[in-house]
Amino acid sequence: MKKIILSLLLITISLNGFSITWSIANSGFTFSPATLTINQGDDVNYVIASSHNAVEVSQAVWNANGNTSSNGFLVPFGGGSVSAAQLTVGTHYYVCTPHASLGMKGKIIVQAPAGFEENKTQTDMLIYPNPVIDHLNVQYNSLETNVLEIKLFDIEGKMLKVLFAKTLVAGPFMKSYDLSTETQPGVYFVQIVLGEKSSFKKVVVL
């Protein structure tokens, strides 16, 4: 049963391009969480009562507890989803139209990966699975002796750990790394430095 659920989860994530779906609910006349920080490419699902909606407004309207739409996203009464395409990098202010005057409002902060983007430079190295449940496997067939470094970074560019740093002799290379003790669910980058080649691979940890 666990394998079936895991397979369905992996299929869902792969169909959504490794994006993460975040949820916003309501507690009375309050959005929860009131401020949500997500990564570019993620989407948001509102699970709210039928008496509430969510309408994107300008910061000025938001500050004044107004409800004039900025022609951004609009979540109907009872909830719905906001796609990643509507959530560009920056701060998105929103309110519940009938309850904005009561202060029922929230913010979605969309951040881009800081420091670097995924680099498409090819090193012929296979990193799998992606998304990662606990163990990340790295596989490579080296044609010559070279120095190999594999480093793990968080979404903001902070190095968390050097996974591997040794001279790699010619031949097959295969290593498995347990990320369950190093990470929380989210988006990470693995830097691969092989000789003079360097690339970043984005991985999602569940």
pLDDT of residue 183: 87
Any domain includes 120: no
Rounded to an integer, what distance in angstroms lies between the CA atom of residue 138 and that of residue 175? 5
Q: Give the number of other Cβ atoms within 10 Å of residue 123's Cβ.
A: 17
Residue at a domain's end among 87, 111, 135? 111
Domain contains 11 = no
Task: CATH number of the domain at 197, please.
Answer: 2.60.40.3080
Non-local CB neighbours of 23 within 8 Å, separated by 6+ positions:
44, 45, 46, 47
pLDDT in tens, the chain (206 residues): 434 434 434 434 343 445 678 899 999 999 999 998 887 778 899 999 999 999 999 999 999 999 999 999 999 999 999 998 899 888 999 999 999 999 999 999 888 755 555 554 445 678 888 888 889 998 888 788 888 889 888 877 788 899 989 998 888 888 999 988 878 888 888 888 887 777 788 888 88
For residue 93, give its domain range. 17-111
* Same domain, yes or no: 32 and 93: yes
What pLDDT is recorded for position 59? Answer: 95
